[in-house]
Amino acid sequence: MDLRFPEVLPDLLPIYYKRLFPFGPFCRWLSYGNLKENYFKHREFSLTLADDVYLRFRSYANQDELAAEVQKRGPYKIDIGAVYSFRPKDHRTVQVFQPLERELVFDIDMTDYDEVRTCCSGADVCTKCWRFMTVACKVLDTALREDFGFEHLLWVFSGRRGVHCWVCDEAARKLDTSARAALAEYLQLVSGGVNQTKKVTLPGDKLHHSIKRAKGFIEQQFVTLVEEQDILGSPAALASVLALVTDAELRQELEKEAQRYSSSRERWDAIVRYIHTQQERGQLKRRQQFIVEEIMLQYSYPRLDINVTKGLNHLLKAPFCIHPKTGKVCMPFNPRSAEKFNPMTVPTIRLITSEVDAPNQTSMMQLIASQLNFTSFSEFESQRSSMSERVSTHRENLENREKSGRFKKHNVYKRDVVI
């Protein structure tokens, strides 16, 4: 972190907004091909100025108007809200002012992992704890695509300690609050506050397919997480894991097994080995049958702030903002290669504004292109001409799925999952 932040921001933000902020792609994304004339015009933006002055319910006719105000005011933060029934800037003068649509959004904050990570705490993030985020991205990205049929997902590093996911499909933007709540609850597995020890319980005899799939992603990373975070190294850490075993007899046996070793990795292997042996002998009690999965999921399944997802008019920080505490760009990344994304090396406003006149500048657009060499943002842009076709194809897909019963099974309205 640059120690002179945020003092230098008032000097650098005007350069950033004037020379680097990608207003073109940004506004084209939020216009969705201009299929609906007022879609962009009725969108709420909120600007946070110095000294925590909030300007809510701002709205703009077009890219030029947005750019002009942002360049004039140099906001520390830009938030994106819903698309309303009227222009947000007129909200005091109209009778029925209500949010109609917005992207379905997810917010995963590293501070929610403080009880399971040991490398950092609070606002700090390093490459070790970023591994929790890579697991979260893969699990959530796949669930949204496979269980709900969404295709247009934009993943963004928040600039400090979290990630956001914007689901931009038309079907997602049209979800009402109750559908958003149902969807968020379907995806939420780790629940309960700091006083609740066991946060994941898997009832029934079979794992739901979405949990089986999540387990597959988690298994690829879990041993590394166990080692990097020293999940079983200290007596207190071992006790925290064993506290998730509700059967006292099994807990004692597992403790005995784990105590024979000293490293986290050896202890985890011993615990898994013991449970599997008991399982094979048919000696594991029924409600302990998923204990290995419950431990893994509690430590690494995505921890969602579901209130952000539930609200139709919740504000979320816009991609390409500068995080006012770190100076880092709020940068999109590819969820499929999230493990290659390094939050520590995300460019800061100081770096990119210092290079703005250099002959070999790392221009913002190059940076964006390097991160967006997959789909999402560039894909939204290229959608402009073929948007109608895509929308109708997607609708057809959804209808076909509903007819075939596949979607119905995982439909947020008719949820039959056992979580």
Among all residues, which ones are annotated catalytic?
Answer: 44, 107, 109
Other beta carbons within 10 Å of 205? 8
Q: Is 94 helix (H, G, I), strand (E, B) or coil?
A: coil
Minimal distance, residue 126 CB to Zn ion, in Å: 3
| Cα gap 190→150, rounded to integer Å | 23
| Smallest separation, CB 121 to Zn ion (Å) | 8
Question: 387 to each of 32, 82, 152, 169, how far by Cα in Å?
Answer: 8, 20, 12, 11
Residue 119 Cβ vs Zn ion, minimum distance, rounded to whole Å: 3
Q: What is the DSSP letter of 331?
A: -
155 in Cβ contact with 379 (< 8 Å): no
Nearer to Zn ion, 188 or 240 (CB): 240
User: Which residues would be at the binding site for Zn ion (CB under 5 A)?
Assistant: 119-120, 126, 128-129
CB of 243 to Zn ion, least distance (A): 23
Taking the least distance from each CB to Zn ion, the nearer of 8 and 119 is 119
Nearer to Zn ion, 120 or 391 (CB): 120
Exposed / middle / buried, residue 92 (Cβ in 10 Å: 0-12, 13-18, 19+):
exposed
Shortest gap between Cβ of 141 and Zn ion (angstroms)?
22
- Please name the residues in contact with 331: beta carbons below 8 A apart, sequence gap of 6 or more: 156, 157, 159, 319, 320, 346, 347, 367, 371
CB of 110 to Zn ion, least distance (A): 8
User: DSSP labels for 214-228?
Assistant: HHHHHHHHHHHHHHH
CA–CA dist 117, 132 (Å, integer): 9
> Between 229 and 383, whose beta carbon lies closer to Zn ion?
229
Q: How, if at all, do strands 162-167 and 332-333 pair?
A: unpaired
CB of 93 to Zn ion, least distance (A): 49
Q: Which is nearer to Zn ion, 132 or 377 (CB)?
A: 132
Which residue, 188, 142, 201, 129, is CA-closest to 308?
A: 188
Are 163 and 155 a contacting pair, CB within 8 Å? yes
User: In Å, how far are 153, 318, 387 from 36, measured between CA atoms?
Assistant: 21, 21, 11
Report the nearest approach of Zn ion to the CB of residue 131 (Å). 9
Q: Between 260 and 340, whose beta carbon lies closer to Zn ion?
A: 340
Query: What is the distance between the alpha carbons of residues 359 and 114, in angstroms, rounded to a whole number?
Result: 43
Q: Which two tokens stand for residue 252?
A: 């004692």
Identify which of residues 40 and 113 has a Cβ nearer to Zn ion in the complex: 113
Cβ-count burial 211-222 (b if 16+ within 10 Å, e if not)? bebbbebbeebb
Nearest to Zn ion of 119, 242 (CB atom): 119
Q: Which residue is associated with the tokens 């933000």?
A: 13
Tokens representing 335 are: 């969820």
Of 27, 159, 174, the closest CA to residue 104 belongs to 174
